[in-house]
Amino acid sequence: MTKKAIYPGTFDPLTNGHIDIIQRSSELFDSILVAVAKSAGKSPLFDSDERLQMAKQAFSGAPNIEVVFFDGLLVDLAKEHGARVVVRGIRNIADFEYETQMAGMNRKMMPELETVLLTTAPEWRDVSSTLVRDIARFDGNMSDFVPAEIEQAILNKLS
């Protein structure tokens, strides 16, 4: 049986921490579905299509990573794509508490859906999309936190 996992997020923007979790996941599972979420309740810097395109570009050379957009329940996306695993990265105890709550709710709606929590690599533990956006808004150097193409997209968006 092919093991397909989903890595969902808003990716506004996609950071090196996200990329690390996705690449590590792609070594654990046969295929990874990077699910770019609509971003309900947030004020994204990039619109859905821009975030989708940046993620597609970031993983264009990875044969077992597919990038899709979704707007709805994660369990519905999992059923639609035949995925039975959700991968989430955790940086700290707050992430752990949030992700275990989400995993529990997803499991109530789809009992066969497992959640795998991967600890963030130490070098990315403090990186978040929100902090990257804040650094960018104040003309800080974000080159250590995002790929060069995404850094340029952020600079273009804010100029």
- Catalytic, out of 3, 42, 108, 137: 42
CATH superfamily membership of 4-125:
HUPs (3.40.50.620)
42 given a catalytic annotation = yes
81 given a catalytic annotation = no
CA dihedral of residues 57, 61, 65, 71 (deg, nearest 10): 10
- Catalytic, out of 4, 18, 51, 133: 18
125 given a catalytic annotation = no
pLDDT given for residue 79 in this prediction: 97
* pLDDT by position in tens, the chain (length 159): 679 999 999 999 999 999 999 999 999 999 999 999 997 666 789 999 999 999 999 999 999 999 999 999 999 999 999 999 999 999 999 999 999 999 999 999 999 999 999 999 999 999 999 999 999 999 999 999 999 999 999 999 998
- Catalytic, out of 26, 51, 129, 133: 129
Q: What are phi and psi of 145, to 5 degrees?
A: -110, -20
Please state whether the peptide bond connecting residue 13 to the residue before it is cis, i.e. omega within 30 degrees of 0: yes
Residues near 143 by beta carbon (within 8 Å), at least 6 away in sequence = 151
- Catalytic, out of 91, 107, 125, 157: 91
